[in-house]
Structure 1
Amino acid sequence: MTDLATHLDIAGTAFTRIDSPDSIACWTATIASTGEDTPRAVSIVLEPAVQPDQRLLQFAAVVVSRFDEFADLAKAYLQQRLSEPEFGLQEAELSALRNGEPLFDEPEAVIWSDDDWMLRFTESRLELADPYGIAVLFEGTNPSAVEDLSDADPA
């Protein structure tokens, strides 16, 4: 296995490599949010464990610098998509979606490649989001799917 950097500087944000299985490399950072007290987490997870290439570092810089914009985009996407019958929301939850009530909070990003990543809201009032939150998968800068984490394995 190659030696992997313990620190990455991406868009002025310090990412630190965290302990993980040998097959995975994970760097994480906390970024400030405009207008909110809660800091945001951004992680880069690569399997197999390799050093991120320049293209991935550039893409991660986009996610870091536009984090709040992506969080707003993900919220709008969830409000649109979760009204579909396949998600099985209760009438009170659907009403809250239609009324634009704040249902999603504490977003964090996980980047897997320079095109695929996820923005997960760790807090939500929706039953569907219990206990691990709810996520929006992105392809590049576009939301592509809702990820139901209710049956996720905590390990």
Structure 2
Amino acid sequence: MIQGVGPLVHLSDGPGGLSVWGVAEPERWGADVNVMLEAGEDVRSVDLRLLGRVLAHLDEMVAKARRFACARLGVPEERAALDAPEVNFYTDGWMLRFVEGGVPICEPYGVGVVFEGTRPVRLEDLSEAEAIGD
């Protein structure tokens, strides 16, 4: 149970022992919220307090990520049109992924902004990533 968020629910299992968890009421946040664990990892290894803080200030986190990504890409926010945010937490950190965008780097899987705590630190090019299960 995450204070202010509620319980995590197991969503699916993927290849190689990947396990995906999510919040019980994703529509409450206006974004998909995933906790992704590799084989042998435990959900208690994820910084759930940080997850709660991120969700409590999700609009601010999305705005920070959008500004950071646009600055790194060198394009105005209107042109980048980054949208459909998705929050992905792992045992070693988290990323806010924009599933949709109006710049080539967003095809086909969007673009991610990696955070340390609540500070964006790196743009993640997902254009050459492999789909889970491929």
Shorter-chain TM-score: which interval? 0.7 to 0.9
Task: Note if 1:135 corresponds to 2:131.
Answer: no
Q: Which residue of 2 aligns with 1:61?
A: 52
Distance across 2 between alignment mates of 1:14 and 1:40? 16
CA radius of gyration, larger in: 1
1:23 is matched with which residue: 17, 23, 30? Answer: 17
Q: Where in structure 1 are there 5+ consecutive unaligned residues?
A: 1-7, 34-38, 84-93
Q: 1:109 to 1:48 in 2, by over 3 A?
A: same
- Which protein has the bigger helix share? 2
1:148 paired residue among 106, 122, 125: 125
Name the structure 2 match of 1:110. 88
Deviation at 1:55? 6.7
Aligned length in residues = 128
The letter for the 1-side match of 2:131 is P
TM-score (norm 1): 0.72
Counterpart of 2:98? 121
TM-score scaled by length of structure 2: 0.82
Shift of 1:24: 2.9
Aligned-residue sequence identity (percent) comes to: 28
* Counterpart Cα distance in 1 of 2:33 and 2:12: 16
Question: How do 1:31-110 residues align onto structure 2 when only pairs under 5 Å count?
Answer: 31-33=27-29, 39-53=30-44, 56-83=47-74, 94=75, 97=76, 100-101=77-78, 103-110=81-88
Match for residue 36 of structure 1?
A: none
Structure 2, unmatched stretches of 5+, are: none
CA distance change for structure 1 residues 55 and 124 in 2, over 3 Å: closer, same or farther? closer
- How far apart, CA to CA, are the structure 1 residues paired with 2:45 and 2:127? 34
The 8 Å contact of residues 31 and 64 in structure 1, kept in 2 or not, is answered as: no
Post-superposition shift, 1:118?
Answer: 0.6
Q: Moved runs in structure 1, 4+ residues, more than 4 A?
A: none
Aligned Cα root-mean-square deviation (Å): 2.2
